[in-house]
Amino acid sequence: MTDVQGIQLKRDRKVSFSQYALIAVALFLATKACTLPSVLADAAGAKAVWVVLILFAAECVLLYFCTKTARAGGLFALDLPRGARIAAGSILLLFFALKLAAFTREISTYFALSLFENVPVLPVSVILLVFTCLFAYGGYASLGRVLEIFVWLFIFVFLFVIIFTRTEGDLFNAIAIVNADTEGMGRGIFRALGWFGDSAVVALLDLSGTRQTKEKGKSGSERLGNSKILAAALGVSCLLLVVFYAVFTSVYGEAARMTDYAFIKLSAFRANTDELGSADWPMITLWSVLSFVYLGLILLAGKECALGIFGKSGRKAEKTAFALLSLFALVLSVLVSDEAAAHETFMTGVMSIATIIAGAVSALAGGAALYKSKVKYE
C-alpha cells in the first residue's frame, strides 16, 4: 500500500471518541430486537434474557480487542505480515458480506410487512441498499454524526415508552427467567451468534488520533473520562437490551417463540395499524435511522476490507466496492431467504459459524495490536 493510499484510507476511517462510542452502541443494539427474541425464545425459552447477557459480555470482549486494533490505526495499518492481513481481511470481508445479506433481508421484511403493509420484499431491499450506499458514502464520520444527532431520540423514546406504554406482563413469566431450568441455553447461544459479532466493524476504524493525544501528554483523567463515557454507553445499552428481553418474556411467555418480529408484537412498529397516542412514530424514526446506520457501517467495513485486500483506494474503487457488496447481498438474500427453512439455517447456522470465525480473527488481530503496542512502549 502506498503512503497516499494509506492516508486516503485513514482519513475516511477517522472518527471522534464520542462517535466511536455511539457506533459501538449502535452495533450492539441495532439488530437485537427484531427476529432474535423469537429465535431465542424458541431455543432457550425464558432464559433468552441470560443468553443475551452472556453474548453481550462476549461482544464487549470482542469490542475491546477490536478497539485495540482501531487504536493501532485499523486492521490494514497493523504491522503484520501481508499474507496474514489479507487472510484476516478476506475472512472479515466474507463475514460483512454475509451480514449485509442477512440483515438487509431482515430489515426489508420488517419494513415491507409493517410499514408498507405486506408489499413485496425485493423492491424494499433494492431501495434499502441504494439508500444505504448513499448513506455510507460519507464515511464513518458521517454515520457517527448521524448517531450524534439522533442520540437524543434514544433518550426521548426510552422515556416516552416508560411513561406511555401499557405493558401487562405476567409475574410467573418473569419468575421463569430466574428458575433453575437452564435447558436450551447452550443451543440458544449458538443460534443467536449470527446476531452478534458486529463489533468487528470497529477493527476497521482508525482511532489512532486518541493514542496520539495520549502520547502528547493529555491528562489521565481525560482519558479516564472517555472510557467512562464508553462504559456508561455500553452499560445503558446492556440494561436496555436486558430489560427489553425481560419485558418481552414477561408479556409473551411461551408464545414468544411464535412472534416473528418482537417490535411489532410489542406494538412499537405499527404506525398504520395502531391507535394514536402510542410511541410508534418516534420508534419508527429511531429504528429506521438505526437500521440505516447499521447497514451503512457493515457496508463501509466490507468496503474497507475489499479495498485493503486489493490495495485500492479512491472514490471509483469505493463505488465499485459498494455496488459489488450490495449486489452480492441482494442476490444472496433472494437465494437464501425465499424459503423459510433455508433462511433459518442461514441465520442460525451459517451466520453463527461465520461469527465465530470472524470473532476469532478480530480478537487475534486485536491481540496482535495489543502485543505490538506493548513491545513499542517497552
Residues in touch with another protein (CB under 8 A)? 113, 116, 119, 123-124, 126-127, 130, 170, 172-173, 175-176, 179-181, 183, 251-255, 257-258, 260, 264-265, 267, 270, 272-274
Helix axes 82-110, 351-377, angle to 10 degrees: 140
Please give the span between the terminal C-alpha atoms of the chain, in angstroms, as a whole number.
Answer: 28
Cβ nearer to another protein, comparing 48 with 238: 48
Cβ nearer to another protein, comparing 36 with 358: 36
Cβ nearer to another protein, comparing 114 with 337: 114
Cβ nearer to another protein, comparing 3 with 275: 275
Cβ nearer to another protein, comparing 167 with 212: 167
Cβ nearer to another protein, comparing 166 with 376: 166
Distance CA 322, CA 299 (A): 7
Smallest Cα–Cα separation from 256: which of 51, 36, 31, 30? 36
Q: Strand, helix or coil at 47?
A: helix
- Taking the complex as a whole, the smallest distance from the CB of residue 4 to another protein amounts, in Å, to 24
- Taking the complex as a whole, the smallest distance from the CB of residue 274 to another protein amounts, in Å, to 7
Distance CA 145, CA 55 (A): 28
- Taking the complex as a whole, the smallest distance from the CB of residue 1 to another protein amounts, in Å, to 26
Distance CA 51, CA 47 (A): 6
Cβ nearer to another protein, comparing 113 with 309: 113
Quick check: 356 and 62 in contact, CB under 8 A? no
Q: Which residue has the cell 484510507?
A: 9
- Taking the complex as a whole, the smallest distance from the CB of residue 114 to another protein amounts, in Å, to 9
Q: Which residue has the cell 448513499?
A: 134
- Taking the complex as a whole, the smallest distance from the CB of residue 257 to another protein amounts, in Å, to 8
- Taking the complex as a whole, the smallest distance from the CB of residue 104 to another protein amounts, in Å, to 15
Torsion angle of the four alpha carbons 315, 321, 322, 327, in this order, in degrees rounded to the nearest 10: 150
* Alpha helix (H) residue ranges in 338-350: 340-345
Q: Enumerate helices (H) and strands (E) in the chain, giving the number of each.
A: 16, 0
Quick check: 213 and 75 in contact, CB under 8 A? no
Count CB neighbours of 187 within 10 A.
15
Cβ nearer to another protein, comparing 42 with 206: 42
- Taking the complex as a whole, the smallest distance from the CB of residue 295 to another protein amounts, in Å, to 17
- The torsion angles phi and psi of 183, rounded to 5 degrees, stand at -60, 135
Rounded to an integer, what is the distance from CA 127 to the centroid of its chain?
A: 20
- Taking the complex as a whole, the smallest distance from the CB of residue 12 to another protein amounts, in Å, to 23
Distance CA 81, CA 256 (A): 48
- Taking the complex as a whole, the smallest distance from the CB of residue 175 to another protein amounts, in Å, to 5
Cβ nearer to another protein, comparing 130 with 342: 130
Q: Which residue has the cell 406504554?
A: 165
Q: Which residue has the cell 477490536?
A: 66
